[in-house]
Amino acid sequence: MNRRGFLELGALAASSAIVARAFAGGGKLLAYGERPQELATPLSAFDQLETPTELFFIRSHFGPPALVANRHVKIGGGFVKKPLQLAVSDLARFTEVTLTAVLQCAGNGRGLIVPRVPGVQWGHGAVGQASWTGVRLRDVLDAAGLDPSAAHVQLAGADLPPKPTVPAFKRSIPIARALDPSTLIAYRMNGAPLRLAHGAPLRLIVPGWAGNHWIKWLAHVEPAAEPATGFYMEKGYRVPKTPIPPGTALTPDNSEPLTVFPVKSLIARPGDGEHVARGRQEIVGVAFSGAAAIAKVEIQLDDGAWQPAKLEGEPGAGRWQLFRFAFDATPGTHRAAVRATDAAGAVQPEHAIWNPSGYHWNAWHRVTWEVA
């Protein structure tokens, strides 16, 4: 076992009971921050194809702007012929699209990474799947007369930094990603109008890409020749191109913006540390990959051989499926680990790749529980 693996297992062994309680939760969001809201979905909710909106995680940089129903998104800059200002009601002229997609914070799992790194110390709960309804960004850019030489689309929300000295949250996505038919400007989530915490009135939907691209309170869309600049492009949301030793810093020549989230699976139940009645047991959870559909999910029970779990739900890149694995348990302590493989061949690793900001944690999820 390498040093990273040893440290991860050591930390887990030392604190598994408390961490289990912290990360499992019940029927309410778990607060990693009350102001601004940094709220996690309890693991127990990951036994559904659609995460209920009231249990859907909330990540904030600066907290929301005012809820203004007619807030406009401005499509402007030098790479459109016809700048537009569009409120929700103005989007009716475009074809409406509904799709199902996983939204995951880039830092989900940061609290599990060793050596530890600063940031919101998410357990497993900064992820969820919802149905999103809106219009294609591509159609809106077409209506604005997009200059075909644009190479990126720069984006900003209406949320302002708390002080002028705090960098604004500005991002960009490459033009190909902006023109992908799954990239939406959304106004509904799980069939209901977006709530303020989730970006009302308009947010960007970028299936398969980490949540930092899913701009809430979308206010500015500006095609450009270059990517956006600033802290959140040049310092934040970057990962090493090739792995670096744990505890070391990124270097300019070995750093790139994170985009697609890697293959991952999570066990919703049994909960870690849970006591359950004897008899038929079922391990249930979700599996997803930003790059491709899920090909298989396997369970390792009590350190035995990996066995396939059954999958439910529609497969697809950037969306999750449920997995189920049933067995008859003897009384006593049981352990399970889960790993997913996507259709592109990526296999969820035993240990996540360490990086200085704790992005894209996707190690095997393990639970231990007692059967009476």
| Residues that bind other proteins in the complex, under the rule CB under 8 A | 15, 18-19, 21-22, 25-26, 28-40, 53-54, 58, 63-68, 71, 111, 115-118, 120-121, 123, 158, 160-167, 195-197, 219
How far are the Cα atoms of 40, 104, 221, 246, 285 from residue 268, in angstroms, in the given order?
14, 16, 37, 29, 5
CA distance 372 to 369: 10
By beta-carbon proximity to other proteins, the closer residue of 68 and 225 is 68
CB of 226 to other proteins, least distance (A): 25
For residue 234, the one-letter residue type is E
Residue closer to other proteins (CB basis): 195 or 296: 195
Separation CA 155–CA 145 (nearest Å): 17
Helix, coil or strand: residue 234: helix
The number of beta carbons lying within 10 Å of the beta carbon of residue 27 is 10
Name the 3-class secondary structure at 63. Answer: coil
Report d(CA 157, CA 218) in Å as an integer. Answer: 4
Residue with Cβ nearer other proteins (123 or 285): 123
Nearer to other proteins, 38 or 342 (CB): 38
Distance in angstroms (rounded) separating the CA atoms of residues 314 and 249: 40
Would you call the peptide bond into 315 cis, given omega within 30 degrees of 0 as the criterion? no
Query: How far apart are the C-alpha atoms of 164 and 150, rounded to whole Å?
Result: 30
* 195 versus 324: smaller Cβ distance to other proteins: 195
Nearer to other proteins, 18 or 225 (CB): 18
Neighbours of 294 (CB within 10 A): 25
List the structure tokens of 257.
Answer: 């913006």
Least distance (Å) between residue 144 CB and other proteins: 21
